[in-house]
Amino acid sequence: MQQVSSIFHKGHNGRGILLIHGFTGTPLDMDPLVKFFCGIGFAIAAPLLAGHGTTPEALRKTTWMDWMQSAEEAYHQLRLSGVGSVYTIGHSMGGLLSLRLALRYPFAAMSTLSSPIFTRDQRIKYARYLKWVKPYVRRTEQKAPHIEQHLRPYPRTPLASIDQLQRLIESIKDDLPKIKTPIFVAQGGADETVEPKSANYIYNRIGSHYKKVQLYPSSSHIITRDHDHHRVNQDIASYFEAIRIQTEGERPFFHITGNTKESRRCDHRTKID
């Protein structure tokens, strides 16, 4: 597997975004979001979660709390860079980690993208038993070519890690009413991994006063790289800006042009230590 590192970009608008990739994914899955938000001035931290971007064997040795620690360290990296407000966007499992972090830290706003409460494959619930007799399951399905070319998937996934994902899902359900952070919940209607009703579950149970749920009918699970990803980027940015204006009472800080190609180039990319 090609080496993948965490991503950090310096911003210039005094605000930062923590981008958290999904289960068995890497920060490359979030690259369109990285480029978009960096282009409108945000500092970016997109950590490579523990056990990801390396080997299945390394992933097997981690727990969801290790993944949480990776995200938490990136959050502190943003804070130490001097940003005033921090937002978070998490894809799939990364959204669940964002929700858990929102129980601890005062995010200005957040977004979950295709985050699972219910999965298409019900066998995830039995991973905690099957892991003792079958350590790995082989990856048999590929995404659409325009998505697959950007991925760095493992050829097999540890059942122990799938069990950890299920435990993370279970851990967040009861805590959703405690989360007050403004949230934009995005879900692909053609998601082959997560049941779209997961988005409504999060929306209906989260304790946020300001919240919005949006379905993108043409998008699959990797919503960050599918047909609607430009619209997703713009919708999240518009929501974050609306929340900022409402809570801070200030005039618009940036203007969404509708064309991400107009964003400023973001060339300062470093590994987060």
Lookup: tokens for 147? 């998505």
Strand 7-9 relative to strand 15-20, pairing: unpaired
Catalytic: which of 6, 70, 85, 92? 92
Q: Is 191 a catalytic site residue?
A: yes
Catalytic: which of 9, 21, 91, 221? 221
Catalytic: which of 191, 226, 228, 235? 191
- 65 is annotated as contributing to ligand binding: no
Q: Is 92 a catalytic site residue?
A: yes
Distance between CA atoms of residues 113 and 216, nearest Å: 11
Is the Cβ–Cβ distance between 46 and 74 less than 8 Å?
Answer: yes
- 23 is annotated as contributing to ligand binding: yes
Q: Left (φ > 0), alpha (ψ -120 to 50) or beta: where does 70 sit?
A: alpha
Residue 61 corresponds to which amino acid?
A: K
Distance between CA atoms of residues 21 and 98, nearest Å: 10
Q: Is 220 a catalytic site residue?
A: no
Q: Which residues are annotated as a binding site?
A: 23, 93
Active-site positions? 92, 191, 221
Q: Which residues are annotated as a binding site for substrate?
A: 23, 93
